[in-house]
Amino acid sequence: MPRAIPFRLPQLLLAGIAAPVVAASAQRSDLAVTPFVSFLPSTGSSPLAGLALTLGGNGGLAFRASGNLALQAANNSTAVSTETRPWGADADAMFLFGRNDGSSRSITPFVFAGVGVEGVQNVASTKTRNDWSYGLGANVPLAHAIDLFGEARWRMTEFVLPTAYEAPARTNELRFGLSFQVGTGNSDSGPPRGRRR
């Protein structure tokens, strides 16, 4: 049975990832803010709404921190204390195939892997567990700095390979959303500007 971890871990995980994201974005690195919705087909639970911050990507490698929370609490009985609200947080390393900067924007497929924490919270208690996940997806350009985002994620509830002996079954997750580019590291990709005299 997984050991319970303090409820503060998701906040610490996201804060630890978000700090370098903000610091690096000040150094002209790419930063994308992505609101998304997660669907868990294997559990049939309510969709989760989330937000992701992604740093980098033009060189092929990116880092992403994300968190999500169920849109609707699940009520298992008439008692209010049994209402549960699933949530999760992830830190992923991503590899993007292609270039997606100011000078060239196209459909950009990617793969990723990372670690995370997921939990279920109700009035009486919070249960959490660590996990790792991997998956693939794509960004589709819609406008100058807006992409349509979609991915499939497979989550492992133990730190073992999916092919390991007696490994737990994977759970799958689908995410869809919009990605807004709020920083660009290629400031000189456009035409040169003339000097004022």
- pLDDT value for 193: 45
Name the phi and psi angles at 81, rounded to 5.
-65, -15
Closest CA to 180 of 154, 148, 155, 152: 148
Residue 145 lies in a domain: yes
- pLDDT value for 169: 83
- pLDDT value for 124: 67
CATH number at residue 95: 2.40.160.20
Residue 2 lies in a domain: no
CA separation for the pair 36, 90 (Å, rounded) = 13
Q: Does residue 164 contact residue 6 with C-beta atoms inside 8 Å?
A: no
CA triple 165-167-171, angle to 5 deg: 150
Residue 4 lies in a domain: no
Residue 18 lies in a domain: yes
Residue 188 lies in a domain: no
Residue 1 lies in a domain: no
- pLDDT value for 32: 92
CA separation for the pair 44, 22 (Å, rounded) = 35
Give the residues of the chain that fall short of pLDDT 70: 1-29, 42-45, 74-83, 99-104, 121-125, 183-197
Residue 15 belongs to domain spanning: 9-25+32-183
- pLDDT value for 26: 40
For residue 95, how far is the Cα from the chain centroid?
A: 14
Residue 195 lies in a domain: no
Q: Does residue 20 contact residue 14 with C-beta atoms inside 8 Å?
A: no
- pLDDT value for 44: 64
User: For residue 78, what are the contacts with CB-CB under 8 A and spacing of at least 6?
Assistant: none
Residue 146 lies in a domain: yes
Residue range 23-54, pLDDT digits in tens: 443 444 589 999 999 998 866 667 899 999 99
Q: Tokens 């319970």 sit at which residue?
A: 4
Could you give the number of structural domains in the chain?
1
Q: Which residues pair with 61 in a beta bridge?
A: 95
